[in-house]
Amino acid sequence: MSGPVLSIRDLTVKVPIDGETRTLIDAVSFDLARGEILGLVGESGSGKSMICRALVKLLPSPAIAITGGTVLLDGKDLATLSEDAMRAVRGAEIGMIFQNPTSHLDPVMRIGDQIAEGIRYHQGFDPREARAAAVEILGQVGFPDPARQYDNYPHEFSGGMRQRAMIAVALSCNPKILIADEPTTALDVTIQAQILRLLMDLRDKRGLSIILITHDLGIVAQTCDSIAVLRNGQLLEHGPKRRVLAEPQHAYTVSLLKSHPSMPEESGGTPLTPAALPIALQPLLEIDDLVVRFPAPGLGIFKKGKTEIAAVNGVSLRIMPGETVGIVGESGSGKSTLARAILGLTPLTSGHVSFAGSDLAQQRRQTLAKLRTEAAMVFQDPYNALNPRLTIGDMLAEVLKVQGNTPAARIPERVGELLDLVELDRAFATRRPRSLSGGQCQRAGIARALAVDPKLIIADECVAALDVTIQAQIIDLFRDLKTRMNLTLLFIAHDLAIVRNLCDRVVVMYRGEIVEEGRCDAVFANPRHAYTAALIGAIPDIDPDKPLPRGDLPPRSEPKAAPVVRGQPLISMQ
């Protein structure tokens, strides 16, 4: 690496709020060398994304402004450029990859055209030349058939392929700097490893400088050259990754390292041992040969019979009272479909789900009544899972009224007790979700689940979008609630490090089937299935000397559809 391609000095961003001026970025300074990967880490609201938006002058509100400092790109101060001049910089010199590709790719525009659009604007290519260049870029980012896939729309791709398309759009103008804002947060560990390796390969081939925004220190340790730690808009620590990880100078950096789930002995809690589990003769939840099928997409109206895909294919599982069971697997493995089938939210094709002795297939009304009063779910996106028009107190009161077990006069006190359980101040009862952080919203979602006084809680990717410090707090909360309330917890996640720290037992799903299950310590120490080994091998480690995993999965056959004639399945997906 040679001299800096980007030099930031005393960058300050402020916003006027309620008659006063609030500082969002407080005199931040750092350099980005040619070919360097810089990791920006910190909790939500620390200023990571705000700094990168300030670099390209795409601040989220007209009221927010750069009030001081310089942003020098090859000697040119971006902070003083006009909007017309900045349009020539965005894309051509600084490209940006966003966290959610679905929100940033045009759903009614072909993937290839979205890449070619930037090429034509910045490089003046004609349509034929732009298409050829876009096809070449699609090949570089890993599309297996770029000439054909040029004409596909975003919804026709998986999350990992959409993220590759987002990277292709960012690369279309051959920028000097690539800003990647949490590019792998919602992806499975295997896809995450593939995307990170792709970014590193592109850095090596193109000489890119990359700013990688992330809350996962394992990603930083295995991909970045240097680390900048931010909190409350201030740069607390900056230096080579080995120095920062081995000898952190700031107490906040130390707390981030201790919160990382790859360090179970430091995580603040210990998974229950087999001796600590309550003894019960009957399982709380029993699943026997469960099959859930959905119609296969893209069928013609003249096709004879029906063709279906088995999202859950012959799953059998027993969960004892007081157990914490983790369900892991990549997207499409059937985890969430299984959860919805357990709660009666998705129809069963065949098989049985028994909850507290009631069979959902044979006694549907009775079992659903039990599930509505004794089981609850915590969802992945805490903001979309809560009603934005209700205060937190009104939301909890509504659940208590529907359940009918709490006298009307006692509902306000019970709302306070629920907030106490999830360690939220009782003043939060008067606030709406939009005024809460992601971690606070997730605590409110857990409080809503506890309002039914459940025996079973199903947590579906409930910490995937949270910072590592908030993740640790939510995991510790679950651990405490489990002990105090004797809860049974079914924890669905793609982050195996969290499952290893929280759960007693792990179930690995692959293509709708359970391929491995057992005690967490045994499965993680000695995986018996190649798919389990691939998942474990893809976990980013905080040790910077360990190579970034490739994220390769074992060879697998294509899914087989199950033709159904006269409503009877002849074969199922294997």
Percent of the chain at pLDDT > 70 equals: 89
> What pLDDT, on a 0 to 100 scale, did the predictor assign at position 275?
38
Which runs of consecutive H residues, i.e. helices, occur in 57-156? Answer: 83-89, 101-104, 111-123, 127-140, 146-149
For the segment 101-118, the average pLDDT, to the nearest whole number, is 88
| 415, containing H or E segment | helix 411-421
| 452, containing H or E segment | none
CA distance 140 to 118: 17
Closest CA to 204 of 90, 37, 74: 37
What sign results for the dihedral spanned by CA atoms 185, 191, 194, 199? Answer: negative
pLDDT greater than 50 at residue 18: yes
| 91, containing H or E segment | none
pLDDT greater than 60 at residue 177: yes
For the segment 448-464, the average pLDDT, to the nearest whole number, is 89
> Per-residue DSSP letters for 493-518?
ES-HHHHHHH-SEEEEEETTEEEEEE
> What pLDDT, on a 0 to 100 scale, did the predictor assign at position 562?
37
Question: pLDDT tier at 78 (50, 70, 90 boundaries)?
Answer: very high
Residue with tokens 């907030």: 419
For the segment 475-498, the average pLDDT, to the nearest whole number, is 88
CA distance 248 to 574: 50
CA distance 161 to 268: 36
pLDDT greater than 50 at residue 494: yes
1-93+178-183+202-262 and 310-539 share one fold: yes
Q: Is 90 left (phi over 0), alpha (psi -120 to 50) or beta?
A: beta
- Mean pLDDT comparison of 193-207, 219-233, 534-548, highest-scoring range: 219-233
Closest CA to 364 of 379, 352, 382, 376: 352
Least confident of 246-255, 380-389, 448-457, 488-497: 380-389
Cβ 115 vs Cβ 172: under 8 Å: yes
Least confident of 48-57, 402-411, 421-430, 553-562: 553-562
> What pLDDT, on a 0 to 100 scale, did the predictor assign at position 262?
58
For the segment 403-413, the average pLDDT, to the nearest whole number, is 90
pLDDT top residue among 45 and 55 = 55
Residue with tokens 């980007």: 6
pLDDT greater than 50 at residue 476: yes
CATH architecture of 1-93+178-183+202-262: 3-Layer(aba) Sandwich (3.40)
Residue with tokens 């959860």: 339
Give the 3-state secondary structure of residue 310. Answer: strand
Give the 3-state secondary structure of residue 336. Answer: helix
Angle between helices 189-206 and 159-171 (to 10 degrees): 20
Which runs of consecutive H residues, i.e. helices, occur in 150-227? Answer: 159-171, 189-206, 217-223
**DSSP label at residue 203:** H
> What pLDDT, on a 0 to 100 scale, did the predictor assign at position 555?
57
Question: pLDDT tier at 572 (50, 70, 90 boundaries)?
Answer: very low
> What pLDDT, on a 0 to 100 scale, did the predictor assign at position 255?
85
pLDDT greater than 90 at residue 338: yes
Question: pLDDT tier at 311 (50, 70, 90 boundaries)?
Answer: confident
Token pair listed for 566: 């006269």
pLDDT top residue among 29 and 256 = 29
Least confident of 116-125, 272-281, 453-462: 272-281
For the segment 200-218, the average pLDDT, to the nearest whole number, is 87
**DSSP label at residue 351:** E
Fold of 310-539: Rossmann fold (3.40.50)
CA angle 134, 99, 218 (to 5 degrees): 110
For the segment 285-312, the average pLDDT, to the nearest whole number, is 74
pLDDT greater than 90 at residue 103: no
- Up-side HSE of residue 402: CA atoms within 13 Å toward CB? 13
Question: pLDDT tier at 110 (50, 70, 90 boundaries)?
Answer: very high
Q: pLDDT tens, 365-406?
A: 999 988 988 999 998 777 778 888 999 999 999 999 998 888
- CB-count exposure of residue 274 (10 Å: 0-12, 13-18, 19+): exposed
CA distance 191 to 21: 42
pLDDT top residue among 279 and 318 = 318
pLDDT greater than 90 at residue 417: yes
pLDDT greater than 90 at residue 11: yes
Question: pLDDT tier at 349 (50, 70, 90 boundaries)?
Answer: very high
pLDDT greater than 50 at residue 315: yes
Token pair listed for 126: 């004609």
> What pLDDT, on a 0 to 100 scale, did the predictor assign at position 436?
82
Domain definitions of the chain by residue range: 1-93+178-183+202-262, 95-174, 310-539
Least confident of 27-31, 431-435, 560-564: 560-564
Question: pLDDT tier at 298 (50, 70, 90 boundaries)?
Answer: low
Question: pLDDT tier at 304 (50, 70, 90 boundaries)?
Answer: low
Q: pLDDT tens, 125-174?
A: 899 999 999 999 898 888 888 999 999 998 888 777 888 888 888 888 88
Question: What does the mean pLDDT of the chain come to?
Answer: 84
Question: pLDDT tier at 292 (50, 70, 90 boundaries)?
Answer: very high
> Per-residue DSSP letters for 8-77?
EEEEEEEEEETTEEEEEEEEEEEEEETT-EEEEE--TTSSHHHHHHHHTT--SSTT-EEEEEEEEETTEE
> What pLDDT, on a 0 to 100 scale, did the predictor assign at position 306?
59
pLDDT greater than 80 at residue 574: no
pLDDT greater than 90 at residue 185: no
The total of other beta-carbon atoms located within 10 Å of residue 128's CB is 9
Long-range contacts, stretch 394-403, CB < 8 angstroms, 24+ apart: 395/444, 395/448, 396/429, 396/447, 396/448, 396/451, 399/448, 399/451, 399/452, 400/451, 403/373, 403/451, 403/452, 403/453
The total of other beta-carbon atoms located within 10 Å of residue 369's CB is 13
> What pLDDT, on a 0 to 100 scale, did the predictor assign at position 29?
95
